[in-house]
Amino acid sequence: MLNNNPALKHIVGRVGWYLVTFLVAVTINFFLPRLGDANPVDTIMAKVSTGLDTKSARVKEEAYLKEFGLVEVDAQGKVKRDAQGKPVPTPLSSQFVNYMGMSLQGDLGSSILQHPKRVSEIIKTAIPWTIALQLPTIIFGWIIGNVLGALAAYKRGAFDKILYPMALLTSAIPAFCFGILLVYFFGIRLEWFPAVGGYDEGLTPELSGEFLSSAAYYYVLPFLSVFLLVVGGQAIGMRSMCIYELGTDYVKYAKLLGVKESKILFYMFRNAMLPQLTGLALALGTMVGGALIAEIIFSYPGLGMTILTAIQGNDYPVITGCTLLITVTVLIANFSADVMIGLLDPRIKAVQSGGK
Amino acid sequence: MTLTMPAPIFEIEDLRAHYLTRFGQKIQAVDGVSFSLKEGEILGIAGESGCGKTTLVSACMGLYIPPLHQSSGDVRVDGKSIIGMDVEQNRKDVLGRLVSMIPQGALNSLNPTRKVKDLAADMILSHDEKADKQEIQGRLRERFERIGLDAELVLNSYPIQLPAGMKQRVVIGISTLLNPRVVIADEPTSALDVTTQKSVIRLLFDLMDQQIIGSMLFITHELPLLRHVSSRIAVMYAGEFVELGSTEQVIFDSRMPYTKALMGSMLSAEPGQKSKKPVAIEGAPPNLAHRIKGCRFAERCPEARPDCKENEQLIRIVANREVRCQYAE
Amino acid sequence: MKLFKNLLKSPGFLLGSSLFLLTLVLALLGPLFIDVDTRTRVGLAFMPPSAKAPLGTDHLGLDMVSLLIQGLRSSLYVGFLAGTVATIVGTLIGVYGGYKGGLIDDILTVATNLFLVIPSLIVLILLSSSLDEGRSLTLIALIIGCTTWTWSARAVRAQASSIRARDHVALARINGYGTFGIVMLHILPYLLSYIFMVFILQTATGILSEASISLLGLGPYDSISLGKILNEAIRNEALSDGAWWAFAPAMVLITVIVFALYVLNTSLEGVFNPRLRK
Q: How many domains does chain B have?
A: 1
**pLDDT range class, residue B221, cuts 50, 70, 90:** confident
Q: Which residue has the higher pLDDT, C70 or A41?
A: C70
* pLDDT band of B107, cuts 50, 70, 90: confident
Residue A116: cis peptide before it, omega within 30 degrees of 0 = yes
In chain A, % of residues over pLDDT 70: 87
How many CB atoms within 10 Å of residue A281? Answer: 20
- Is the pair A, B in contact (3+ CB pairs within 8 Å)? yes
**Residues in chain A within 8 Å Cβ distance of B115:** 346
| Any domain includes C83 | yes
Contacts of A355 (CB under 8 A, 6+ apart): B158, B160, B161
CA triple C84-C186-C196, angle to 5 deg = 25
In a domain, residue B224? The reply is: yes
Q: Is residue B299 part of a domain?
A: yes
Interface test with A, best of C46, C114, C125, C244 (most A CBs within 10 A): C125
C93-131 residue pLDDT tens:
888 887 777 788 888 888 888 787 777 777 777 777 777
Angle among Cα C137, C84, C20 to the nearest 5 degrees reads 85
Does the pLDDT value for residue B218 go beyond 90?
yes
Q: Is A271 in contact with B174 (Cβ distance < 8 A)?
A: no
Q: Verify whether the Cβ–Cβ distance A258 to B91 is below 8 Å.
A: yes
pLDDT of C153 strictly over 70: yes
CATH number of the domain enclosing C79: 1.10.3720.10
pLDDT range class, residue B217, cuts 50, 70, 90:
very high
Position C129 in a domain: yes
- Asked if residue B289 belongs to a domain, the reply is yes
- Predicted confidence at residue C274, as pLDDT, reads 53
Domain hosting B206: range is 7-108+180-268+278-323
| Best residue of A176, A278, A292 to probe chain C, by most C CBs closer than 10 Å | A176
Interface of A with C in 145-164 (CB under 8 A): none
With contact defined as 3+ CB pairs under 8 Å, the chains touching C are: A
Interchain contact, A249 vs B103, CB within 8 Å: yes
The one-letter amino acid code at C86 reads A
Asked if residue B143 belongs to a domain, the reply is no
B61-73: average pLDDT: 85
Q: Find the mean pLDDT for residues B285-298.
A: 80
pLDDT one-digit tens code per residue, B115-155: 898 999 999 988 888 888 888 899 899 999 988 888 888 88
> Torsions phi, psi of B242, nearest 5?
-105, -20
Contact assessment for residue A322 and residue C122, using Cβ atoms and an 8 Å cutoff: no
Which range, A76-80, A198-202, C58-62, C148-152, is most confident? Answer: C148-152
Return the amino acid letter for A22.
F
pLDDT band for A3, please (50, 70, 90 cuts): low
Question: Rounded distance, CA C104 to CA A268, Å?
Answer: 37
Tell me, yes or no, if C130 comes closer than 8 A to chain A by beta carbon.
yes
Higher pLDDT residue, B15 or C169?
B15
R_g over Cα of chain C = 22
* B57/chain A closest Cα distance in angstroms: 10
Range with the poorest average pLDDT among A64-73, C77-86, C260-269: A64-73
The widest CA-to-CA distance across chain C, in whole angstroms, is 74
**Which A positions 272-291 lie with beta carbon below 8 A of chain C?**
282, 285-286, 288-289
Residues belonging to chain C: 278
Confidence at residue A273, expressed as pLDDT on a 0 to 100 scale: 84
In a domain, C126, yes or no: yes
What's the CA gap between B3 and C121, in Å, rounded? 86
Are A256 and B122 an interchain contact pair (Cβ–Cβ within 8 Å)?
no
Boundaries of domain holding C144? 58-276
If contacts are CB pairs under 8 Å, which of residues 234-263 in chain A contact chain C?
243-244, 247
Q: What is the CATH number of the domain that holds B16?
A: 3.40.50.300
Query: What is the torsional sign of CA A23, A26, A31, A32?
Result: positive
Residue C148 vs residue C190, higher pLDDT: C148
Contact with chain C for residue A190, Cβ under 8 A: no
Q: With respect to residue C70, please indicate whether it lies within any of the assigned structural domains.
A: yes
Q: Chain A 316-355, CB below 8 Å of chain C: which residues? A: 316, 319-320, 323, 326-327, 330-331, 334
Average pLDDT over every residue of A76-99:
75
**Average pLDDT over all residues of chain A:** 78
Quick check: is C5 in a domain? Answer: no
Band of residue B216 on the pLDDT scale cut at 50, 70, 90: very high
pLDDT band, residue C277 (cuts 50/70/90): very low
| B248-260 pLDDT tens trace | 888 888 888 888 8
Q: Calculate how close chain A gets to C241, using CA atoms only, in Å.
A: 9
- Residue-level length of chain B: 329
| Total tally of structural domains belonging to chain C | 1
User: Among A63-77, B113-127, C52-66, which is the least confidently predicted range?
Assistant: A63-77
Which residues on chain A are in Cβ contact (under 8 Å) with B160? 346-347, 350, 355
ipTM of predicted complex: 0.86
Which residue in chain C is spatially nearest to A30 when comparing CA positions? C126
Task: Answer whether residue C265 is part of any domain.
Answer: yes
Name the residue type at position B56.
Answer: L
Give the model's confidence band at C10: pLDDT under 50 very low, under 70 low, under 90 confident, else very high.
confident
pLDDT of residue C142 exceeding 80, the answer is yes
Q: Inter-chain contact A174–C240, Cβ cutoff 8 Å?
A: no
Q: Which range scores top for mean pLDDT: A23-27, A268-272, A275-279, C34-38?
A: A268-272
- Tell me what pLDDT residue B6 has: 67
In a domain, B115, yes or no: no
The pLDDT of residue A354 is: 42
Mean pLDDT of the B230-242 span: 89
Arithmetic mean of pLDDT over chain C: 80
Number of A to B CB contacts under 8 A, please give it: 87
Distance, CA of C190 to CA of C167 (rounded, Å): 13
Inter-chain residue contact A243 with C244, CB threshold 8 Å? no
How much is the pLDDT for B275? 62
pLDDT score of B184 more than 90: yes
Asked whether at least 3 C-beta pairs link C and B within 8 Å, the reply is no
Closest CA relative to residue B233, chosen from B221, B249, B214: B249
Q: Are A310 and A319 in contact (CB under 8 A)?
A: yes
pTM greater than the 0.80 cutoff: no
**Residues of chain B positioned with their CB less than 8 A from the CB of A270:** 113
